[in-house]
Amino acid sequence: MKIGFVGLGNMGMPMAINLAKAGHEVRAFDPAATPQPPLATSGSAAEAAAGADVVITMLPNGAILREVAAEIIPAMKQGAVLCDCSTVDVDSARAVADDASSAGLGALDAPVSGGIAGASGGTLTFMVGGGADAFETVRPLFDIMGQKAVHCGDSGAGQAAKICNNMILGATMIVTCEAFALADKLGLDRQKMFDVVSTSSGYSWSMNAYCPAPGIGPQSPADNDYKPGFAADLMLKDLRLAQQAAESADADTPLGALATQLYDRFVTEEDGSGRDFSAMLPRFEQRGRGV
């Protein structure tokens, strides 16, 4: 396929490169980054989108997505698909999809899970909202960039799945870190705790696959001084999106709200910015009850 790719950050660049290495013609643009070989360089987002069968965007937030969409939708050919892989608010995803549909285009919101390592290794999971025909068009590209793509429903459903998933992830990581800190104070060996919890009812992805305790379980950012695989700043962004959606939908999410407050404090007032979201563990290690 001819692919336009807009947004070449830590996630977008390796995703675009994987598509090009698989034999697709990828014309890429980012105002702050130079496309790496084998990507072809475009002078603007509209130039990258012109004539493409699929245009993929990977952008920081909904406001920027709306701006970029307003530029590229008029440049896209009839019947092409705009596939946004950013994590943005549901309202922005749906507004862009409506604009694309009105212009005779297919539209997908397809946020990802898997972090930088998943983008580089082509092992991302895509949560996709939008039309079935557009999904089938882009499915071969999802198969290159990731290991799984789930069609979650109509426009906005992909973003809804992503923020619900990450609200669970944020809350479970916090309580996993709390439990390790408590275990330390009770004199329980961390390895023994992991051996019990990882095979008992406390099992979770945060414990079993991404353990926040260094030297325990599979390799994780905890074993690399909490250098981010998934930054606390990005977890805070996703939790805020979840709370924005909960407010819009009149949904009661008290644990999600508390997780948002804790990550906000961690990132903006403590030392969490630029660290992995599992660096909550040393935070709790240093704190007493009520501090």
Domain coordinates in residue numbering, the chain:
2-154, 160-286
Could you tell me the two tokens for 179?
Answer: 């439990």
179-215 confidence digits (pLDDT tens): 999 999 999 999 999 999 999 999 999 999 999 999 9
Residues composing the chain: 291
Could you tell me the two tokens for 8?
Answer: 């070449």
The yes-or-no verdict on residue 138 having pLDDT over 90 is yes
C-alpha Rg value of the chain to the nearest Å: 20
- According to DSSP H, which parts of the chain are helical? 12-21, 45-49, 62-72, 90-102, 115-121, 132-145, 157-185, 190-197, 205-208, 232-249, 254-268, 280-285
The yes-or-no verdict on residue 57 having pLDDT over 80 is yes
What pTM, to 2 d.p., does this model score?
A: 0.92
How much is the average pLDDT of 14-26? Answer: 98
* Residue 152 DSSP SS3: strand
Domain 160-286: which CATH number of 1.10.1040.10, 3.40.50.300, 1.20.120.330, 2.30.33.40: 1.10.1040.10
Contact present, 45 and 6 (Cβ < 8 Å): yes
CA distance 129 to 153: 5
| CA-wise closest residue to 2 among 59, 108, 79, 74 | 79
Q: Tell the residue number behind the tokens 């660290």, with chain if given.
A: 275
Name the CATH architecture for the domain at 2-154.
Answer: 3-Layer(aba) Sandwich (3.40)
69-98 confidence digits (pLDDT tens): 999 999 999 999 999 999 999 999 999 999
* Residue 5 DSSP SS3: strand
**202 phi/psi in degrees, rounded to 5:** -85, 0
pLDDT value at position 291? Answer: 63
| CA-wise closest residue to 84 among 116, 49, 117, 50 | 49
- Show which residues are catalytic: 162
pLDDT value at position 134? Answer: 98
